Chains A and B, each alone.
Chain A
Amino acid sequence: TQLLEQSPQFLSIQEGENLTVYCNSSSVFSSLQWYRQEPGEGPVLLVTVVTGGEVKKLKRLTFQFGDARKDSSLHITAAQPGDTGLYLCAGGRLGYGGSQGNLIFGKGTKLSVKP
């Protein structure tokens, strides 16, 4: 069974601080996605990383996929109150036929950025 462990579960910081969220597994994934979910809404995709070692930047957010494609991190620089939300990592499950396209989600990191 492929599982994704996400940490920390909760994170409360002051505006301007930096933070990193981790997503770890003992399994290899075909790709890793990061989503952000706001209360009362569905998750919205932030980024997809596919290649081991890949780094992608989205303004103040930096995403990295581990070399072995088993882990990923999300780093936010100079966090702002607008970054507040639930961050979810999701791994693309390796497999054949019907299991392709199946996402395994981590349990999420609830981030609160205080002004």
Chain B
Amino acid sequence: DTAVSQTPKYLVTQMGNDKSIKCEQNLGHDTMYWYKQDSKKFLKIMFSYNNKELIINETVPNRFSPKSPDKAHLNLHINSLELGDSAVYFCASSQVGRLAGGDTQYFGPGTRLTVL
């Protein structure tokens, strides 16, 4: 059973298009995240949701809009795609979202987005 799943695995699209990436977790966790990993493997948080509510938005362009229909799902919609959006996007989830207690984040397999 996959704990955190993402679709699609690969996404190739033209500049200016709008696309969505879906994420689902079956761990019963309260908190979900979106991360971006660039070509140099640098992983940076974009958004965090706790129980369907946005709690972190790390200066991400407003072309990126996360949506959480329920606490098991966190989707990422991107408008007007740009070349610089090419990266691997990872979804993750954790039980509580408080690391001082040793909260573990579980990552999905990633979605490789290529903007041409």
A and B: bona fide binding partners: yes
Q: A48-B102, A50-B100, A108-B41 are in contact. Are A102 and B109 (CB under 8 A)?
A: no
Decide: B104 and A101 in contact? CB cutoff 8 A: no
Residues of A near B106 (CB, < 8 A) are 45
Contact partner of A42 (CB less than 8 A), chosen from B4, B31, B55, is B4
Q: Is A65 an interface residue (CB 8 A)?
A: no
Q: A41-B109, A98-B48, A102-B56 are in contact. Are A50 and B42 (CB under 8 A)?
A: no
Instruction: Identify the stretch in B14-22, B64-72, B73-81, B91-99 within 8 Å (CB) of chain A at 4 or more residues.
Output: B91-99
Distance of A111 Cα from B90 Cα, bound (Å): 21
Nearest opposing residue in chain A for B99, CB measure: A92
Q: A40-B109, A42-B4, A42-B108 are in contact. Are A100 and B90 (CB under 8 A)?
A: no
Q: Is A43 an interface residue (CB 8 A)?
A: yes
Q: Is A63 an interface residue (CB 8 A)?
A: no
Decide: A42 and B92 in contact? CB cutoff 8 A: yes
Residues of A near B94 (CB, < 8 A) are 101
Tell me the smallest distance from the CB of B69 to a CB of chain A, in Å.
Answer: 21
Majority-rule SS of B interface residues: mixed
Tell me the smallest distance from the CB of A100 to a CB of chain B, in Å.
Answer: 5
Q: Is A112 an interface residue (CB 8 A)?
A: no
Known: A50-B100, A101-B50, A103-B99. 10 other contacts (CB 8 A): A33-B99, A33-B105, A40-B109, A42-B107, A100-B99, A101-B31, A101-B97, A105-B42, A107-B41, A108-B41
A interface with B by C-beta (< 8 Å): 30-31, 33, 37, 40-45, 48, 50, 86, 88, 90, 92-93, 97-103, 105, 107-108, 110
